[in-house]
Amino acid sequence: METWTPPGCFSKGLLFSALFLALELPQGSQAALHIEMIPEQPQKNQDLLLSLHGVPSTAQDFIWYLGEEASGGTRLFSYIPGLPRPQRDGSAMGQRDIVGFPNGSMLLRNAQPSDSGTYQVAATMNPAWTMKAKINVHVAGAREVSSLLPVHAGITVAIIIGSLAIGSLLVCGIAYVLVTRSRKGRSPRNPATEKPEVNLSPESGDSNIYEVMPSPVFLVSPISDMEQGSPPMSQPPPPPPASQEPEPEHQHYQDLLNPDPAPYCQLVPTS
C-alpha cells in the first residue's frame, strides 16, 4: 500500500531548509571579517589605520561606529563606493579627521587619547546580509610614553655596555695570546736585552781567559800608522845617551888574546 504525501508538506520542508541556510551563511561569513590595527600600539599625535580584511567583492556600503553599541549616536561615518561623494560623516565624528577607503578601511589622523574605545564596522552585502567586526583601540598619552622611555633606555644602555664588555674581553684575550707567544719565542737563559755569555768550552780551541787591563805607560802608535797619514801621538823625549867611558889601552890586546869562539866573530885574514 503506497503512502501519499500532500504537496503542502513538501514545500514547507524545502522552504525551512532554504531559510536555515540563508541564516547560517551570513554568520559563517561574519567570522571571516576582521580589523587590523596599524600601528599595534598607537601613541598620541600618530596616524592610526584600521585595515579591514575579508570583505567580499559584493559589499555595497560600510558604516563605522565608535562605542559598544551600533546606533545613530555612535556612527562615525558611512562610505558608499561608487558615489561622487562616498563618505558621509555621522554625529560621532566631531572634530576627528577620518578618511574612509573603498575596501572598508579607515584612517584616523593625529590620534588622541580621547579617541580610545571600541570601533565597529558593518559591511552590507544586501538587505538581508550584513557582516560586522569590532576592535578595541587604546591611544597612549604623553605620560604613558614618558614612562615607557626609561625602560627602553635602560635596555638600550644594557645592550651597549654588554657589547663594549664583550669587545674588551676579546681584545684582552688577543693581546694575552700575542704576548705569550712572543715570550715563548725567546730563550729564558739568553734574553735579548742581556749580553751574550763568553764561550769557555774546550771545543773552542783556546782555554785561556784574557782580561783587558790599562797600560801603565803611554803607548806609541806603530810606524805603519804614521805612514798612513795619521798624526803621530805625542811621546816623551828620549832619554839622554849614557856617557861613554874611555876604554882601557890594553883592551884591544885582550880581545886578540882571548878571541870570541863564535864562528861569525873570528877574524878572517885579508889578502
Out of 112, 140, 168, a domain closes at: 140
- 55 lies in which domain range? 21-140
Produce one character per residue of 112-127: b if its CB has 16 or more CB atoms within 10 Å, e if not.
eeebbbebbbbbbbee
Q: Which set of grid coordinates corresponds to residue 165? A: 664588555
For residues 128 and 45, membership in a common domain is answered with yes
In a domain, 177, yes or no: yes
In a domain, 179, yes or no: yes
With a cut of 50, list the residues of the chain below it in pLDDT: 1-3, 5, 7-10, 14, 20-22, 24-30, 191-192, 196, 225
For residues 118 and 178, membership in a common domain is answered with no
Contacts with 119 (C-beta within 8 Å, 6 or more apart), sequence order:
35, 50, 64, 65, 66, 134, 135, 136, 137
Q: What is the pLDDT of residue 169?
A: 86
Report the C-alpha gap between 247 and 260 in whole angstroms: 18
106-109 sheet: strands from edge to edge: 34-38, 48-53, 106-109, 97-100
Q: Which set of grid coordinates corresponds to residue 236? A: 816623551
For residues 72 and 94, membership in a common domain is answered with yes
Please state the pTM of the whole predicted model: 0.47
How crowded is the C-beta side of 129, counted as CA atoms within 13 Å? 18
For residues 130 and 151, membership in a common domain is answered with no
Q: What is the pLDDT of residue 26?
A: 45
For residues 135 and 171, membership in a common domain is answered with no
For residues 78 and 154, membership in a common domain is answered with no
Q: What is the pLDDT of residue 229?
A: 52
Out of 151, 185, 219, a domain closes at: 185
